[in-house]
Amino acid sequence: MSKLFSPLKIRNVVFKNRIAVSPMCQYSAVDGFPGEWHFVHYGSRAVAGTGLIIQEATAVSPEGRISYGDLGIWTDDQLVAYKKLTNYISSHNCIPGIQLAHAGRKASATKGWEEARSLSKEEGAWKTYAPSAIAFSDKYSAPDEMSEDDIKKIVVDFKQASLRAVLAGYKTIELHFAHGYLVHEFLSPLSNLRIDKYGVSFENRCRLALEITRAVRSVIADVVPLFVRLSCTDWVEGGWNINDSVRLAKLLKEEGVDLIDCSSGGNISSAKIPIAPGYQVPFASQIKKEAEMLTCAVGLITKAAQAEEIISENKADIVLLGREMLRNPYWSLNAAKELNVDAEYPLQYLRAK
């Protein structure tokens, strides 16, 4: 029997299988609102047998957007559009999840298919914030160093965004603490040079992550699973690493986090990442074992047999597919066929089963 297609229960939510769509920015929102593109993009993957969809990085404030095209959830006015989306995803026995994010020093930038750089003043650039006034690269503007009042606002923004997410019908929330965005910038000693209570020591650099997590868990129902995406290493000597991630995972678990989504990189522009099929799976396996937590594996997972092996060998509890899901929205149904699983098809597609 396939382990990949076995159900998984986290708190009161049951995922019909262990396959999830990884959060991937579409850069197609207008003023943070989703549109027809998002409805088709996410709806097609819900129809196609996926157990969980984690919506792309959704900004908790306007200034937290990577680009003008990012989704946002900073105002109640945005909830109506999201309710339509979550209702449709849920109607196909797929769990709608959302990734809440703040881009930090990588905000106010171009869209993903353009040259990666900060926007110019003429293009409508906005002020960016980070733990320290260090630019991501020579193509990015230097951010303002955040005051403690700025940091307190970030915690409130995440808290309010998570409450809106639940009201909008999202059944799983993921906090984006990875890929060189704001919280990751605080975690890494390479981007955090503060000397106050948010810098220097491991405990201080983790403070914002724990404050946000605590605030979010305080306002979402106990039945709502809470995930955290971590960059498990900076891939640079002296930076954040897998051992730090294990330590943080244990602390996050105490604050009510249920699962760690194990990615890597994104904080140091010059990092050399040894990309290969399944290259981040060992991070998920180590955190699962040493922190005794559920984990997601992500990163060049493309084949059904590969995903099955990850789950069956207990290296992770969910596999996240990103680019492969862009190429093939119906990956889940194709994987079921390859693994001889009698998967649920939409009635409209039964003739193709």
Can 181 be counted among the known catalytic residues? yes
In which residue are the tokens 């709806």 written? 43
Counting Cα atoms < 13 Å in the Cβ hemisphere of 222 gives: 0
**Cβ-contact 162, 257 below 8 angstroms:** no
- Which alpha helices (H) appear in 48-129, and where do they start and end? 79-91
Q: How far apart are the first and last CA of the chain?
A: 19
**Cβ-contact 75, 81 below 8 angstroms:** no
Dihedral, CA atoms, 85, 333, 100, 117, nearest 10 degrees? -110
Pairwise CA distance, residues 72 & 55, whole Å: 11
Pairwise CA distance, residues 104 & 90, whole Å: 32
In which residue are the tokens 């076995």 written? 6
The catalytic position among 181, 279, 330, 349 is 181
- Residue 322's nearest CA partner among 178, 199, 182 is 178
Provide the 3-class DSSP secondary structure of residue 95: strand
Taking CA atoms, 94 is separated from 50, 154, 344, in Å, by: 6, 30, 11
- Is the dihedral angle over the CA atoms 267, 269, 273, 279 positive or is it negative? positive
Pairwise CA distance, residues 199 & 152, whole Å: 15
* Residues tagged active-site: 181
